[in-house]
């Protein structure tokens, strides 16, 4: 059995010990011995065979109301500290340390590609043309408060200091003392948000990730990419090239979120400009201290004359304009009169003076100075620019159709919504080719339409560098895209914005290639796109709609056909992957996911959402961010230059056979079983999740409705909390069972060996069922269900999960789960004594909370402890939704 790495084990022990000391010293919270007893019981119960858990349940059953909160908080806090230790372990730089979480270097991947026949010229061209964009989303899955995240980051810094071998005893003591204070501060800080963050708060959190991590990580990564490219091709990364882009949905995603208005979007654009000006001012201050040289090129002298310190002169002018820009943005945000004279608005205003200094230094033979911090700032200027991030706008297709329909009706041109798709397209293209304005004067649109038009006006007022994509959810027809382009033009848009249909349900995915072909057939539209198209694939909703196996296959086939159709029309396609953090929402190890995409679908460009807690796990610290950028870049370059082979025709037939069975089985339970919705509502904390102030967005698309109206995040979150993990395996169980009965397992093994897509799917399935726990799921049922029919459904689902695990082991020819992932398996085992008490407590607290609601006597302590269990289990599982 693989143990934790000794360095990691030592850090977990140290953090746990310091937490214990903090708890011991807490006035009025003398519960340390009780917590230790519960932990020991959880550990010993795990070693029991059969129906164990009795000692733990007995201990927890004796807890008084005043003991509930400190006990749940202690286990929650430990799990957060364990996550912190693991996160730091992946980036530690201790001498002689080899992390368990090794990311293959850029140099190694480039060397492998060259050995496989890729020429240096082709490699250089593909890397220079690379477009890899991360879209930070406001999906509400970050349970930890920002206050605590900042303390955890500081704790990571302390662990880094402790890794120095040359510390004096007094120095070590001082660092441990700082760690103890931070842990004590965290212990005495409320871990639960009591008010929902606004959409602007979420955007500020995204900006903070850039300020504290990506701002430092990006130039460091690009230096590494430049050096590796130079080694591999004798040609470095061009200075103006920005292969990495950062975009955001925070403050732009209004789909189902009434809290994101045009005013919010305007404010977020301005906040981005304020933050960018502030960050670049810090860079300029540092550069002015560095660039004290007097030698300058004629080009530079032509700008500053006979200044004694020409570089400082140029940078001084830039500094003044940045200060004006920051003051202007602040005044606009506060609704005060704002002077725009002399501000920096177009990105070239920022890059031109910096590049002038660079060229001058090189011309004077001072390359080593030019390639120092100045180059880092130039690369930041090309990547982040004056807007800081590229803001995506997302809105539902029917809202745009409604806006066009109201205009058409007011002008007496007919009933747009009753027109056929052909009539709509003909009208839209005619309007787009013409020059007359469509929006009538003195027209009073409805509130809904006024908001859509106001959003388009805000968007039209931005520079191209400030804009990401305009994403249309529930898009299915060419007119859905043309509506948006027309509304943007009416608002005064002067340059083509990427308008991106999002295909998210099973039917949408199946119809996507045909929809895009119809769009490419519109000559005007092909000219508008200038030969580049982006399409978004929705993972979350397709999985919720059809089950994980069917969704994965539908996504794969849609990408294949979309790539083929774009190629026929000479269009370069970028696929935008709307993956969630969990396997049930399309998540999983990024490099494996990218390398298992259909051949040709990753063609030098890749766009992907990063959400909630995944942003912190991948980009929360500069060293982590460098690792993540390296991992994604190598995968996209490799998938572009050495794509996987096409699957055999027989494998496709087998996938059709498997998914036909998995879809039928999944929907029979989720859509057709009369007891399923009551079972889901009663056995999971789904309805209590609304009490966690996670994000600005409501948990449901509609105020009423069943599972179909529930967003994918709470759907996954709820099943994860009680460890049945149902969305990730339901349907696959029947498909694997029937495959075994039909003697198809040898063929499935062959598919695993030769087809990265199928192997990745099976590995992800294994990872998620390893997180399931039948004993815990059974305890939730026992505690929360009274109806014998619901209990019968629960017993059936648990039996199916058990069968799924057995068939999976048989397929992989293993005796236990995660044999090839021993580090991950051990990490789960280490967490069990801390997650188990939280599960058992949560079930009991849910029972008490519901009882209290029925009697009209809701205990505040019970409610708060319940929220802490939800946060703690999320930390223990390393994901929410």
Active site residues: 139, 544
Tokens 């619901």: give the residue.
790
Asked whether the beta carbons of 60 and 844 are under 8 A apart, the reply is yes
Closest CA to 378 of 347, 344, 333: 347
Asked whether the beta carbons of 835 and 876 are under 8 A apart, the reply is yes
At 224, give phi and psi (nearest 5°). Answer: -65, -40
3-state secondary structure of 13: helix
Q: CA distances (Å), 112 to each of 116, 337, 616, in order? A: 6, 58, 31
State the Cα angle at 12 between 10 and 13, rounded to 5°.
Answer: 65
- Is 813 exposed, middle or buried (CB count within 10 Å of its CB: 0-12, 13-18, 19+)? exposed
At 48, give phi and psi (nearest 5°). Answer: -75, 150
3-state secondary structure of 469: strand
Residues with Cβ within 8 Å of 524's Cβ and at least 6 positions away in sequence, in order, are 429, 432, 433
Torsion sign, CA atoms 252, 257, 262, 267? negative
3-state secondary structure of 485: helix
Q: Tell me how long the chain is.
A: 881
Residues with Cβ within 8 Å of 217's Cβ and at least 6 positions away in sequence, in order, are 619, 622, 623, 625, 626, 629
522/141 Cα distance (integer angstroms):
40
- Is 227 exposed, middle or buried (CB count within 10 Å of its CB: 0-12, 13-18, 19+)? middle
3-state secondary structure of 395: strand
Asked whether the beta carbons of 455 and 487 are under 8 A apart, the reply is no
Taking phi first (over 0 means left), then psi (-120 to 50 degrees means alpha), and beta for anything else, what does residue 735 get? alpha
502/578 Cα distance (integer angstroms):
9
436/438 Cα distance (integer angstroms):
6
Torsion sign, CA atoms 737, 739, 742, 748? negative
Task: Give the residue ranges of DSSP H helices in 364-505.
Answer: 367-369, 375-383, 397-410, 421-433, 447-460, 478-490
612/694 Cα distance (integer angstroms):
9
At 532, give phi and psi (nearest 5°). Answer: -130, 135
3-state secondary structure of 390: strand
Helix count (H) and strand count (E) of the chain? 38, 8
164/631 Cα distance (integer angstroms):
27
* Longest CA span, the chain: 90
Tokens of 674: 């009369």
| Residue-wise DSSP of 175-225 | HHHHHHHHHHHHHTS--S-SSPPPHHHHHHHHHHHIIIIIHHHHHHHHHHH
Tokens 């002015």: give the residue.
288
Task: Give the residue ranges of DSSP H helices in 421-547.
Answer: 421-433, 447-460, 478-490, 506-520, 523-529, 540-546
219/373 Cα distance (integer angstroms):
9
């Amino acid at each position: 059995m693989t143990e934790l790495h000794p360095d990691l084990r030592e850090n977990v022990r140290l953090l746990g010990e310091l937490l214990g000391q903090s708890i011991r010293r807490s006035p009025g919270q003398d519960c340390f011995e009780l917590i230790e007893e519960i932990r020991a019981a959880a550990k010993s119960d795990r070693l029991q065979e059969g129906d164990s858990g009795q000692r733990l349940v007995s201990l927890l059953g004796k807890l008084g109301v005043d003991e509930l909160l400190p006990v749940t908080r202690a286990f929650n806090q430990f799990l957060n500290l364990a996550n912190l230790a693991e996160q730091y372990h992946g980036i530690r730089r201790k001498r002689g340390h080899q992390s368990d979480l090794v990311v293959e270097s850029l140099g190694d991947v480039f060397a492998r590609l060259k050995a496989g026949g890729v020429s240096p010229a082709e490699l250089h061209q593909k890397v220079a043309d690379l477009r890899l964009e991360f879209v930070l989303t406001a999906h509400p899955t970050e349970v930890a408060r920002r206050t605590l995240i900042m303390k955890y980051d500081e704790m990571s810094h302390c662990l880094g200091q402790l890794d120095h071998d040359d510390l004096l005893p007094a120095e070590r003591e001082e660092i441990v003392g700082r760690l103890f204070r931070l842990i004590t501060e965290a212990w005495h800080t409320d871990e639960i948000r009591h008010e929902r963050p606004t959409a602007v708060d979420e955007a500020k959190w995204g900006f903070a990730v850039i300020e504290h991590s990506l701002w430092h990580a990006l130039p460091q990564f690009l230096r590494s990419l430049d050096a590796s490219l130079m080694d591999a091709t004798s040609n470095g990364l061009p200075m103006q090239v920005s292969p990495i882009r950062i975009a955001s949905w925070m403050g732009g995603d209004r789909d189902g979120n009434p809290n994101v208005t045009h005013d919010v979007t305007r404010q977020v654009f301005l906040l981005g400009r304020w933050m960018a000006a502030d960050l670049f001012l810090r860079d300029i201050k540092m550069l002015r201290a560095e660039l004290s040289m007097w030698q300058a090129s004629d080009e530079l002298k032509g700008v500053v004359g006979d200044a004694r310190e020409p570089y400082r002169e140029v940078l001084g002018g830039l500094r003044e304009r940045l200060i004006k820009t920051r003051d202007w943005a602040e005044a606009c945000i506060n609704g005060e009169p704002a002077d725009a004279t002399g501000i920096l608005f177009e990105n070239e205003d920022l890059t031109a003076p910096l590049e002038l200094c660079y060229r001058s230094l090189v011309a004077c033979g001072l390359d080593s100075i030019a390639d120092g911090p100045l180059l880092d700032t130039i690369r930041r200027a090309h990547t982040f620019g004056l807007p800081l991030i590229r803001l995506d706008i997302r809105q539902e297709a029917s809202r745009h159709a409604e806006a066009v329909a109201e205009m058409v009706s007011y002008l007496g041109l007919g009933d747009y919504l009753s027109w056929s798709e052909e009539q709509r397209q003909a009208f839209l293209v005619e309007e787009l080719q013409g020059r007359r304005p469509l929006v009538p004067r003195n027209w009073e649109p409805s509130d809904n339409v006024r908001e859509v038009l106001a959003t388009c006006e805000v968007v039209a007022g931005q520079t191209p560098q400030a804009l990401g994509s305009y994403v249309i959810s529930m898009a299915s027809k060419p007119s859905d895209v043309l509506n948006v382009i027309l509304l943007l033009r009416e608002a005064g848009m002067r340059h083509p914005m990427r308008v991106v249909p999002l295909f998210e349900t099973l039917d949408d995915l199946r119809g996507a290639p045909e929809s895009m072909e119809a769009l490419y057939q519109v000559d005007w539209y092909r000219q508008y796109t200038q030969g580049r198209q982006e399409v978004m694939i929705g993972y979350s909703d397709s999985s919720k709609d059809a089950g994980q196996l069917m969704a994965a296959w539908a996504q794969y086939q849609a990408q294949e056909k979309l790539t083929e159709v774009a190629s026929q029309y000479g269009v370069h396609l970028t696929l935008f992957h709307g993956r969630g953090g969990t396997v049930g929402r399309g998540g999983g190890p990024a490099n494996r996911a990218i390398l298992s995409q259909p051949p040709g679908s990753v063609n030098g460009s890749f766009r992907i959402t990063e959400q909630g807690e995944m942003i912190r796990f991948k980009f929360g610290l500069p060293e982590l961010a460098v690792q993540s950028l390296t991992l994604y870049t190598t995968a996209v370059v490799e998938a572009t230059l050495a794509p996987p082979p096409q699957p055999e025709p027989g494998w496709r037939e087998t996938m059709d056979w498997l998914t036909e069975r998995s879809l039928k089985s999944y929907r029979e339970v989720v859509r057709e079983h009369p007891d399923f919705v009551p079972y889901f509502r009663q056995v999971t904390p789904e309805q209590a999740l609304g009490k966690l102030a996670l994000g600005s967005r409501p948990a449901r698309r509609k105020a009423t409705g069943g599972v179909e109206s529930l967003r994918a995040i709470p759907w996954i979150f709820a099943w994860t909390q009680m460890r049945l993990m149902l969305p990730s395996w339901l349907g696959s169980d029947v498909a694997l069972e029937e495959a075994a009965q039909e003697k198809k397992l040898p063929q499935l093994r062959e598919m695993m060996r030769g087809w990265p897509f199928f192997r990745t799917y099976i590995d992800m399935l294994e990872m998620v069922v390893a997180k399931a726990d039948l004993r815990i799921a059974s305890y939730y049922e026992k505690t929360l269900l009274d109806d014998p029919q619901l209990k019968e459904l629960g017993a059936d689902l648990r039996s199916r999960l058990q069968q799924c695990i057995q068939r999976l082991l048989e397929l992989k020819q293993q005796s236990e789960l995660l044999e090839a992932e021993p580090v991950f398996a051990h990490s789960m085992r280490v967490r069990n004594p801390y997650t188990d008490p939280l599960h058992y407590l949560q079930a009991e607290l849910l029972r008490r909370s519901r009882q209290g609601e029925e009697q009209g006597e809701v205990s505040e302590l019970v409610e708060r402890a319940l929220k802490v269990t939800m946060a703690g289990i999320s930390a223990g599982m390393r994901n929410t939704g």
